[in-house]
Chain A
Amino acid sequence: MVILAVIALILGTLYGFSGYEFTVLDYLASHTDYILYLTMVLVGISVGLHESIVEQMKKYHLKLLLIPTGIIIGSIIGGVICSFVLNEPMRESLAISGGLGWYSLTGVAIGNLSGAEYGSIAFLSNLMREIISFFVIPIIAIKLNYYTCIAPAGATSEDTTLPMMIRYTDEKTVVFSVLNGVICSACVPVIMSVCYTLF
């Protein structure tokens, strides 16, 4: 799976870089929303086929919030450390680390608010977070626990990294992963506005 993911990423990058245009590939690349929606239906089917999952989820209630809370706190502390280590302003550091892997939003938003250089760092660092997640999810699933696989993925745990959760964890973690992604994605714009208001 990881090897397939690397091949797909390299092929896609080469195709994008080459400047060639094939109608089918261009259509696919520019309609990722539909691919994602179809993926979600398929994931839902897997969850629906797993009969005890609803009963299992009922046990958790508010514990569900622990994972996104841990992710956000870890990322924010990470942003503070980055600010000191790299000697960068606290505002930009926190906004970048608070992107939680959502590179498209943070890249553009921080670029508009703090200039192209910070926009590029926000884009690249959050993209790296997503790509690194692909590779560490299988390792975390074996060495730590299934739920922790959601942590590196951050806001992407509801879409791009979700299929890795499906492959390497269980149905219950997949549901946690989707809900975590929704919560984190809702928090990213909030974290960003708080950073630009406070600092």
Chain B
Amino acid sequence: MEILIFMLIGVLIGRFCFPKKLKKLNEKMQVVMTMLLIFAMGVMLGRRENLINELSSLGFKSLVFCLIPTILSTIIVYFLTERFFDRDKKEDK
């Protein structure tokens, strides 16, 4: 819930008082923040005891538990969005 509140604060700043010339800087800062988040995830992984053991013994099973649900979710959402949403999304950013 906090996430929505912070996003809303950002939306208000962007709508009413953020200088448009700083748009690029804002985007660059988002990349920096993302890298910090991913780095922190890596630190958490590296500090997890038995990570290597877990991966070697349960890695394959975990991969199957990851791939099948992920692929099915993707297929279903693809058909739903193609059927019910506007087709205005493949343009390059």
Nearest CB of chain A from residue B48's CB, rounded to whole Å: 8
Q: Enumerate chain B residues within 8 angstroms of A89, measured Cβ to Cβ.
A: none
Query: In the bound complex, do residue A82 and residue B44 qualify as a contact, i.e. CB atoms below 8 Å apart?
Result: no
* CA of A75 to CA of B66, assembled, Å: 9
User: A150 vs B80: C-alpha distance in the bound complex, in angstroms?
Assistant: 12
Q: Which residue from A14, A42, A128, A136 sits with its C-beta under 8 Å from B62?
A: A128
Which residues does chain A contribute within 8 Å of B89, judged by CB atoms?
145-147, 169-170, 173
Interface size class of B (residues with CB under 8 A): 35 or more
Looking at chain B's contact residues, the main secondary structure is helix
Binary flags per residue of A1-24, CB closer than 8 Å to B gives 1, else 0? 100110011111111111000000
Known contacts A41-B13, A173-B89, A74 near B4 by CB under 8 Å: no
Which of B2, B7, B16, B73 is within 8 Å of A70, CB to CB? B73
Which residues from chain B contact A38 at a C-beta distance below 8 Å? 6, 33
Q: Verify A41–B39 contact, CB threshold 8 A.
A: no
Chain A contacts for B66, CB-based, 8 A: 124-126, 128-129, 132
Chain A's nearest CB lies how many Å from the CB of B53? 9
Pair A48/B46 contact, Cβ less than 8 Å: no
- A residues 133-159 near B (Cβ < 8 Å) are 133-134, 136, 140, 142, 144-148, 150-152, 154, 158-159
Contact count A vs B, C-beta below 8 Å? 295
Task: Tell me which of A77, A96, A150 contacts B65 (CB under 8 A).
Answer: A96
Q: Is A67 an interface residue (CB 8 A)?
A: yes
Residue of chain A at shortest CB distance from B38 = A8
Other-chain contact of A15, B3, B46, B67 (Cβ < 8 Å): B46
Chain A residues whose C-beta falls within 8 Å of the C-beta of B11 in the assembled complex:
44-45, 47-48
Instruction: Report which of A28, A36, A150 forms a contact with B39, defined as CB distance below 8 A.
Output: A28
Give complex CA distance A170, B18 in Å.
Answer: 19
CB within 8 Å of A: which residues of B?
Answer: 1-4, 6-16, 18, 20, 23, 26-27, 29-31, 33-48, 54-55, 58-59, 61-82, 84-87, 89-90, 93
Q: Residues on A close to B: CB < 8 A?
A: 1, 4-5, 8-18, 25, 28-30, 32, 35-51, 59, 63, 66-67, 69-79, 81-82, 85-86, 88, 93, 96-97, 117, 120-129, 132-134, 136, 140, 142, 144-148, 150-152, 154, 158-160, 163-164, 166-170, 173, 178, 181-182
